[in-house]
Chains A and B, each alone.
Chain A
Amino acid sequence: GAGVSQSPSNKVTEKGKDVELRCDPISGHTALYWYRQRLGQGLEFLIYFQGNSAPDKSGLPSDRFSAERTGESVSTLTIQRTQQEDSAVYLCASSFPSGSGQGGGYTFGSGTRLTVV
């Protein structure tokens, strides 16, 4: 597609339930990133995928968070046993490889607003 697509756009879930968030990157963008944005705050890095390399998971806040990506396509971010502090907007972005000279700028999706009640 023309842009980064995320689904669902909104998700309300009960505390303790698992949720899956999906991201479709721009075709040709081999790098994919997940960020979390709490209300009124900046973007907090979660995880980074680059091609078939091992992902950089250094930003995941706990072992309840995990993400997968098959090749250079769709990624899913899974949050298990959700807690109220997980409520935030989860943003996905894709780009050409870091250091490729293609600009370094990301294209973001519109995000998934997760509310844990």
Chain B
Amino acid sequence: GQQLNQSPQSMFIQEGEDVSMNCTSSSIFNTWLWYKQDPGEGPVLLIALYKAGELTSNGRLTAQFGITRKDSFLNISASIPSDVGIYFCASSGSARQLTFGSGTQLTVLP
């Protein structure tokens, strides 16, 4: 089946630093989505991307849909303590349901 390779698996950063994470796949996808999951909660949609090359921002978050349609990255600028959580990329290609990456656990140190 379709698989997404998400990296890094975990990150420890200082408050105020920028952070970047990415997802790649051997398959072509039509949609890239980025979710954040807080402890004990379900994932919440952060950014959705629908076109190759698309660059979208949501506050301090910026994500891009790779031009090859096989990758995407998420950047967080000027991190704050509430950015802590697990970030998942997700995508859909031929399948109707979303395929999720394995997640990036982000820890923000004061």
Contact = CB atoms under 8 A, between A and B. Distances in A.
Interface string B78-89: 000000000010
A103 B48 contact: yes
Interface in B34-91: 40-45, 48, 50, 88, 90
Interface string B26-37: 000001010000
Given A42-B101, A42-B102, A104 B31 contact: yes
A111 B92 CA distance: 22
Q: In this complex, which of A31, A33, A42, A98 has the most chain B Cβ atoms within 10 angstroms of its Cβ?
A: A42
A91 B42 contact: yes
A20 interface: no
B100 A110 contact: no
Contacts of A68: none
Interface string A88-109: 0001010000110001111111
B47 to A, nearest CB: 9
A110 B42 contact: yes
A35 B37 CA distance: 14
B65 to A, nearest CB: 12
Given A42-B101, A42-B102, A43-B88, 18 more contacts: A4-B42, A33-B97, A42-B6, A42-B100, A43-B43, A43-B90, A48-B96, A59-B97, A91-B43, A98-B97, A104-B48, A104-B50, A105-B48, A106-B45, A106-B98, A109-B42, A110-B41, A111-B42
Interface of B: 6, 31, 33, 40-45, 48, 50, 88, 90, 92, 96-103
Interface of A: 4, 31, 33, 35, 41-43, 45, 48, 50, 56, 59, 91, 93, 98-99, 103-111
